[in-house]
Amino acid sequence: MHANALSGVTVLDLSTMMAGPFGAMMLADLGAEVIKVETLEGDGTRTFQPHFKDGDSLYFHSLNKNKKSIAIDLKSQKGIALFYDLVAKADVVWDNFRAGVKEKLKIDYDNVVKHNPKIISCSITAFGTANPYDDDQPSFDLCVQALSGVLDMTGEPDRPPVKMGVPMGDLGSGWYGVVGVLAALFNRERTGKGQKVDIAMLDGLVSLHTYEAAYYLNSGTVPTRIGTAHRSVVPYQIFPTKNIYIAIVGTLDKFWASICSVLGMPEWAADERFKTLAGRFKNRELVVSMMSEKLVQRDCEEWVAAFRKVKVPCGPVNPMDKALNEPLLTARNMVVAVERGGETIKLLGNPVKMSGNTEVYKAPPRLGENTDEVLSRMAGLAAETIATLRQESVIK
């Protein structure tokens, strides 16, 4: 079998919900053996409403493809001993327990490193391991969006804040966890040493403020809600057309000239008020008003075709049904199908395309589907021992 980028890397994935499973799935998509270590009851997202395939929720399926599953009672003495046996053969321990939980379970870095000095332990928490809040304070994506300032600046002017369409507090921390693990693996190749990777959802989301934070930190200006518009670039927003909305971006003056040509108003490009980005920024309301008056006269599809002919960045505001049927995504294998229990499950593909990787997609595992195989191969347990542990409710 062709070796992918992370082939040979074994990850013990203790995570649940969104942030941890998403990041661990990225590692699996790149070729790592990701073993989802679940409680005997299983990841709670297996029961999330309202859609199910082969007994598990589509929420769970969306975050756990290409993984294996074992079920161990980590609160039992025999269960934690089994886990340590797996740690001895693993490369990464990955979790998103709230701060303090992994220490109580004795699966934190200080404990697992005793069983494998080369182990890399990545923990994703809401606020990090060193913070002024109560260690047991639970939090979720929406809370982090609120605390980070992202929620306050998202939405239309003079209307309440709006949650981001995708949970970037969760997803961003998953990405950063992957970056940390990859860096730690590379460092281990040079030094032979593992380390702890500490990811805070709040840190990750705040880091995405980039220029917005720089503007505030250096000018004292607090960003307000501006809808889909851009703080510094005009035009850069969605506009209504005759049927649906269209997104148009004119970051460069050459784009602006092309926009004016397509709108049938080439004189706008030569107008001193609009010919430069600085001028358009100063006259934002007028630019938006003039463009809006023209754009509502034709269907979005007509405008998109015309703008694309002259290389103006644009796109229709697609609902999900149109977005996931975009030829751009189909061509890059971003919608894939796997089979489980006689049912076809459609999921998203791996966005990281590498010339040395072969894309492989396996169905998300059933609870404990790989318990016997993993304990036999990694812990060296005989079938009889595994059966006894199952009878004792140590494993499932």
* Residue 122 near residue 194 (C-beta atoms within 8 A): no
Q: How far apart are CA 391 and CA 371, in angstroms?
A: 14
Beta-bridged to residue 199, according to DSSP, are 124
CA angle 95, 390, 11 (to 5 degrees): 25
Q: How far apart are CA 185 and CA 191, in angstroms?
A: 10
Is 95 a known active-site residue?
A: no
The two structure tokens encoding residue 86 = 């797996």
Q: 341 — alpha (psi -120 to 50), left (phi > 0) or beta?
A: left
Q: How far apart are CA 166 and CA 173, in angstroms?
A: 13
* Residue 38 near residue 71 (C-beta atoms within 8 A): yes
Selected catalytic residue, list 29, 43, 95, 170: 170
Helix (H, G, I), strand (E, B) or coil at 162: coil
Q: How far apart are CA 85 and CA 386, in angstroms?
A: 14
Where are the strands (E) in the chain, listed by range?
Answer: 10-13, 33-38, 52-53, 56-57, 67-71, 92-95, 120-125, 196-200, 236-240, 245-249, 314-316, 335-340, 343-348
Q: Which of 166, 24, 44 is nearest to 90 (CA)?
A: 24
For 323-329, the CB contacts below 8 A with 24+ separation are none
Helix (H) or strand (E) holding 257: helix 253-262
Cβ burial 334-369 (10 Å sphere, 16+ → b, else e): beeebebeeeebebebbeeeeeebeeebebbbbbbb
Q: Which of 389, 345, 391 is nearest to 54 (CA)?
A: 345
Please give the positions annotated as active site: 170
